[in-house]
Amino acid sequence: MSERIARKVLIIGWDAADWKVIRPLMEAGHMPTLSALVARGVSGNIATLDPPFSPMLWTSIATGHTADRHGVINFVQPNAAGDDIRPVLGTTRRVKALWNILTQSGLTSNVVGWWPSHPAEPIRGVMASDFAHRATKPAHVPWLLPQGAIHPPELADRLAALRVHPGELTGSILAPFIPEISGIDARSDNRVGMLAKNIADAASLHAITTYLLEHTEWDLTAVYFDAIDHIGHGFMRFHPPQLDGVPDEDFRLYRHVVEGMYRFHDMMLERQLALAGEDTTVILLSDHGFHSDHLRPKSIPKMPAGPAIEHRTFGVLVMAGPGIQKGEPLYGASLLNIAPTVLTLFGLPVGSDMPARPLLQAFETPPAVETIPSWEDVPGDAGTHSEEARSDPWAEQEAMRQLIELGYVEATTGDGVTRADNAAREAAFNLARVYRSTGRPEEALPHFEAASAAAPDDERLAYWLAQAYLDVDRLDDARALIERLRASQPDSVPLAILSARLSLREDRPADALATLDAAALDASGLPEVGLNVADAYLALGQWEDARESFERVLADDPDNARAYLGVAKAHIGEKAYMPAAEAALAAVGRLYHYPDAHFHLGVALVRLGWIDRAEQAFLVAVGQRPAFRQAHHWLARIYRDYLRNPDRAAHHLALSRGEPPVAA
C-alpha cells in the first residue's frame, strides 16, 4: 500500500452543474463558498461520457469503469420476470464502487443519495439510498422509508426524521427563487410544486449528510444532489437572456430559479465544508454541464431520454485539500479519473483494468501510484449485496413516476412485456453508444443493428446505425440506409450531415460541401454543420477556409475539442507547426481521452524538432487506441531515425502494418 495522502475525502456531486452559470455568479459574489474552494484548490472542466445519462455517469464516477463494464446502461431495466420495467437499481452494478473497495480495505464510508444505490449496500459505514429522501405521499400521510433504504437499519428512524417534505415549504421559503410567487396559482401551475420538491429533496440530502459528517467516524463521505439538473430541465428556458418564444410573463416570474438553486447549493456547501474540516480533501464535480446560453435547444425531442439534448459535454471539477495545488487550473479531466484519484488519495492501488489514471497534475507533489490487476479479483467482504437482495416495489413505482415526469422515460402505456422490450432495446442502443464513444466501432455495430431491428420505424436508431456503418467503412450499407431515410425526411438536417460524411468517406469533399450548402444550413446554430463544412475544406486542402470554419465553431462553442483539433490539422497543412501544437494541446486540455488529438500533437512536435515530446504524444495516442496504425508508424520513424532504437522501431512498424508485434 502506498502512502496515504488524504485523512478524509468528501465527494460532493452536483448533477449538471456548469461553469457557464457558476462563473458569473462567482464574479458577482453570489457563490462565495465555491469561490473560496476554487481559490484554495484546482479547478476546471471535466469531460462527460456518452451517452450523458446520469445513472450511467455517476456509476462510472464511483467505479472508474465505463458502462459496458459496470452494467448500468439505462434509466430503467426489465424486472426479474421480464414482464414489465422498474428503475435501475444499485443491484444492477456489476463491479465494486469506491465504498466497496474502502470496505475491503478497512476504511469507513458514508454514501448519501447516490444514483443508483437502492437498496442500500451493507458497507462499512452508512448508506442512505437514492430512494431514502424522496417524499412519495402528501404531507398529511405518514412518510415511511422504503424497505432497504438505510444501512445500518438501526439508523433508519434517526435519518428519516431529518427529511424535509415539500409540503413543509412556505411561500417565504420559495420567494428567493420566485420573488413574485404570491401572484402564482400553484394549483394550476405545477412548476411551483416542482421547485418545492427539488428544494425539499436537496434539503433532505443536506440534513442527512451534515448529520453523518458531524456524528460518525468516516474516511469517505460521498453525496449526490440532483436538483440543479432537474431545475435546469424545468426552468433553464427562463434563464437570462430571454430566448425567442419564451413568454414575457413566464420569463418575468421564473428567470431567477436557476440562479437561486445554484446559490442554495453554495449555502449548503458552506456548512458541509465547515463540518468536514480544513484537513479534508474535497472533490466537487458534476457529471455533465447544461446549456445556458445561445446553444440551448429550442425544443426537446420526443424520444427516450430526449431531455439529455440540454446537457453540455463538460461539467465542473474542483479539488482542494492538503497536498493539492492552490489556485491552479486543471486540464483534461474525465469522469473516469475520479475513482483512481480517490484510491490514490487513500494510498490504495488503482486497478489496471480501470481505463483512466489518477489526476496527478492536481497534486503539489505527484504521488507514486501503485496498481493491481483488478479490484474485482480481491477477495473479502466488500459490503456488496447478496444475490437475494430485493427492493420495495412501491418505492420503485414512485421512482418510475419521477423519471416519466422528467421526460427520461416514456409514459408506461401498453402492456408490461412491450415496456420491457423497449427498455431492452434502449439498453442495447446505449451500450452501442458506449462502445462507439470509447473507440470500439466494431463492437458497437451489432448493438446498433439489434436496436434498429427491434424498432425498424425509429428513424433516430436508423441515423445512428448509418453512422455506425460509416465508422466501419461499410459504405454501401450506409448509403442504402441514407437513401431510405431520405424518402421520408428529404430536408432533414441530420440526414444532410450524414450524407456529407458519406461523401467525405468516399473522397468526394466537393459533393459534401454541395450537400451542406444545398440544405441552406446555418452553421452558427448547429456546431455539427460547421464541423463538417470544415472537414470538407480539410479534405480539399483548403487550409485557410478549413481553419476559419473551425474558428467560427469555436466562437459559438469555445470548449469544442473537435474544433480545436480541426484548427491543428489546418495549421499542419499550412506548415504552421507551433500554432498547430497549441491547438492540439487545447483539444487534449478539454478532452484528454482523444487519441486523434494526441496524434496530431505528435506530428506538430516532430515538425518542430521536439522529438522526446512527440514520442510521448504518440505513446498516449496508441495507449488510448492500441490499433492506431498511423501513430505506430510515426513511432517507428522516431525510434529508427531519431532515437536509434531499432528494436522499438521494429515493434511499432509491425503494429503499423497490422502484424503481430515484435518484442521491443
Helix extents (H) in 131-240: 156-160, 171-174, 190-215, 227-235
Output the pLDDT for position 653: 96
Average pLDDT value over all residues in the chain: 92
pLDDT at 387 over 90: no
Residue 428 has pLDDT above 50, yes or no: yes
Nearest CA among 200, 198, 190, 193 for reference residue 165: 200
Alpha-carbon distance of 597 to 618, in angstroms, equals 10
Arithmetic mean of pLDDT, 170-182: 93
Q: Where in the chain is the domain with CATH 1.25.40.10?
A: 569-664
pLDDT tens for each residue of 39-49: 999 999 999 99
Q: What are the CA-CA distances from residue 436 to residues 130, 288, 594, 618 (Å)?
A: 30, 19, 13, 22
CA gap 125, 339 in Å, rounded? 18
Burial 2-19 (b: 16+ CB within 10 A, else e): eeebbebbbbbbbbbbbb
What is each CA distance from 384 to 91, 104, 216, 347, 389, in whole angstroms? 9, 10, 21, 22, 10
664 pLDDT above the threshold of 80: no
How confident is the model at residue 393, as a pLDDT? Answer: 46
Per-residue pLDDT at 524 exceeds 80: no
Q: For the chain, give every residue range classified as CATH 3.40.720.10.
A: 8-396
Q: Which residues contact 317 (CB under 8 A, 6 or more apart)?
A: 43, 44, 45, 46, 283, 284, 285, 286, 330, 333
At 64, list the grid cell: 472508474
Return phi, psi of residue 285, to 5°.
-155, 165
Q: What is the H or E stretch that residue 76 is in?
A: strand 76-78
- CA-to-CA distance for 414 and 66, rounded, in angstroms? 32
Determine whether domain 569-664 maps to CATH 1.25.40.10: yes
Percent of the chain with pLDDT over 90: 79
Write out the three cell numbers for 599.
496524434
Contact 252, 306 (CB under 8 A): no
User: Residue 377 — very low, low, confident or very high, per pLDDT cuts 50/70/90?
Assistant: very high
pLDDT of residue 76: 85
Question: 8-396 has which CATH code?
Answer: 3.40.720.10
Is the pLDDT assigned to residue 390 strictly greater than 60?
no
- The whole-angstrom separation of Cα 282 and Cα 260 is 23
Q: Give the tens place of pLDDT for each residue, 261-291.
A: 999 999 999 999 999 999 999 999 999 999 9
Q: Looking at residue 304, what is its pLDDT? A: 75
CB 344 within 8 A of CB 370: no
What pLDDT score does 523 carry?
43
The pLDDT tens digits of the residues spanning 532-588 come to 999 999 999 999 999 999 999 999 899 999 999 999 999 999 999 999 999 999 999
The confidence score (pLDDT) of residue 511 equals: 94
Planar angle of CA 309, 501, 519, nearest 5 degrees? 75
Closest CA to 431 of 416, 448, 456: 448
* CA neighbor of 359 nearest in space, from 388, 324, 393, 333: 333
Under the banding of pLDDT at 50, 70 and 90, the label for residue 391 is very low
Question: Is residue 195 a contact partner of residue 257, using CB atoms and an 8 Å limit?
Answer: yes
- pLDDT digits over 325-369, tens only? 999 999 999 999 999 999 999 999 999 999 999 999 999 999 999
pLDDT of residue 248: 96
Residue 487 has pLDDT above 90, yes or no: no
pLDDT value of position 407: 63
Residue 189 above 60 pLDDT? yes
